[in-house]
Amino acid sequence: MLDRKEGQGVKKKKKWIWIISGVVLILLIINFAAAIFFYNLAIERNVKDFLNDNDDLEVEAETLDILLEGDWRDWSDEQPFETWHQTSYDNLDLQGYYLEAEQPTNKVVIFAHGYLGRGKDMALYGQHYYEDLGYNIFTADMRGHGESEGDYIGFGWHDRLDLLDWIDKVMERVGDDAEIVLHGVSMGGSSVLMASGEELPPNVKAVVADASYTDVNELFSYQIDRMFHLPSFPFIPSTSLVTQLRAGYGLKEASALDQVAKAEVPILYIHGKEDVFVPTEMTEELYENTKSEKELLLVDEASHGESFVKDEELYKETLDGFLERFVREAE
């Protein structure tokens, strides 16, 4: 038999257990709700209004004019792009665009665009490949973007497999002697880096990665602190779990850093020194962990994805020199 004091002690202990359990349950609910929120915010295919007033993405008015209304857009609209379709490994219909060079060539650039972009946005770079370098051009709407199917954004991880399929399709068109360059910007930059760690055909001669992140987990951890002033734990692990359940990949496994450590293809890294959306240090870390031949260009006064516009001459000079080393026209 418990005396009155012992009985009160047991009741008090039970009360505290219930209180603590209730608090833990509430925190778990909040954490789960936050994970759903961040998934819907960043990964689910929908309108991303949260980026509209993001100071980290601000560029100068002159740069904005070129990006939104530059002559390259008129050039793109005037080109006779062929529309291609591809069925992904998970049965999505993906749409791409192929532009044959004016003179016969085996050289091809395959582009990968940035977050919320479209394939033809890469005409900003494609015009130089086409007019000055004489390349065939291929660019696709990545899954969850443009005219391609998909209800989530792959942040490069599943897109790397889509790129492998597009490489095969390009080779069917150009031939077994195709000399292929993968060129991506921002999310597209990380996509081509993630593809670089796969078993690529020897036709892929070079990779160009502009404004790339190391992995999705690190990018989200950086952004949740910068945009919401929240710690990465427990929100990022929970968001990763939701992403695994809904999109089939975890944030940590979506790692360009792990992939470049396995890459055998030469890689040119480009990044703006003033990039605070995807910090420049991420590209420097990628460069340091790359085992294949590599080159690094950091562009003064350039913010996220702004390097080409900010110093077009330096960008082209560096790019052309890199490609001359590794891409050869068939005899």
Q: Please indicate, yes or no, if residue 30 is contained in any of the structural domains.
A: no
Domain enclosing residue 295, as ranges: 49-215+254-326
Q: Please indicate, yes or no, if residue 3 is contained in any of the structural domains.
A: no
Tally of domains within the chain? 1
Asked, as a colleague might, if the bond just before 279 is cis with ω within 30 of 0, I would say no
Q: Please indicate, yes or no, if residue 36 is contained in any of the structural domains.
A: no
pLDDT tens for the 331 residues of the chain, in order: 445 555 566 566 766 666 666 665 676 677 889 999 999 999 999 987 766 667 766 656 667 777 777 899 999 999 999 999 999 999 999 999 999 999 999 999 999 999 999 999 999 999 999 999 999 999 999 999 999 999 999 999 999 999 999 999 999 999 999 999 999 999 999 999 999 999 999 999 999 999 999 999 999 999 999 999 999 999 999 999 999 999 999 999 999 999 999 999 999 999 999 999 999 999 999 999 999 999 999 999 999 999 999 999 999 999 999 999 999 866 5
Q: Please indicate, yes or no, if residue 240 is contained in any of the structural domains.
A: no
How many Å apart are CA 302 and CA 135, to the nearest integer?
A: 27
Q: Please indicate, yes or no, if residue 109 is contained in any of the structural domains.
A: yes
Say which CATH number the domain at 177 has. 3.40.50.1820
**CB within 8 A of 195, min separation 6: which ones?**
159, 160, 163, 164, 182, 207, 259
How many Å apart are CA 97 and CA 127, to the nearest integer?
A: 14
Q: How is the beta sheet containing 294-299 ordered, strand by strand?
A: 82-87, 93-99, 136-140, 107-112, 179-185, 204-210, 267-272, 294-299
Under DSSP, is residue 92 helix (H, G, I), strand (E, B) or coil? coil
Q: What angle do CA 95, 66, 121 make, to 5 degrees?
A: 5
CA atoms within 13 A on the CB side of 31: 16
β-pairing, 294-299 with 136-140? unpaired
How many Å apart are CA 26 and CA 124, to the nearest integer?
A: 49
Q: Please indicate, yes or no, if residue 262 is contained in any of the structural domains.
A: yes
**CB within 8 A of 63, min separation 6: which ones?**
306, 309, 310
Check residue 328 and give its pLDDT: 81
pTM: 0.92
Q: Please indicate, yes or no, if residue 243 is contained in any of the structural domains.
A: no
pLDDT tens per residue across span 19-50: 666 665 676 677 889 999 999 999 999 987 76
Closest CA to 211 of 231, 228, 237, 192: 192
Q: Please indicate, yes or no, if residue 156 is contained in any of the structural domains.
A: yes
Check residue 29 and give its pLDDT: 74
Under DSSP, is residue 43 helix (H, G, I), strand (E, B) or coil? coil
How many Å apart are CA 151 and CA 47, to the nearest integer?
A: 12
Chain centre to alpha carbon of residue 66: 22
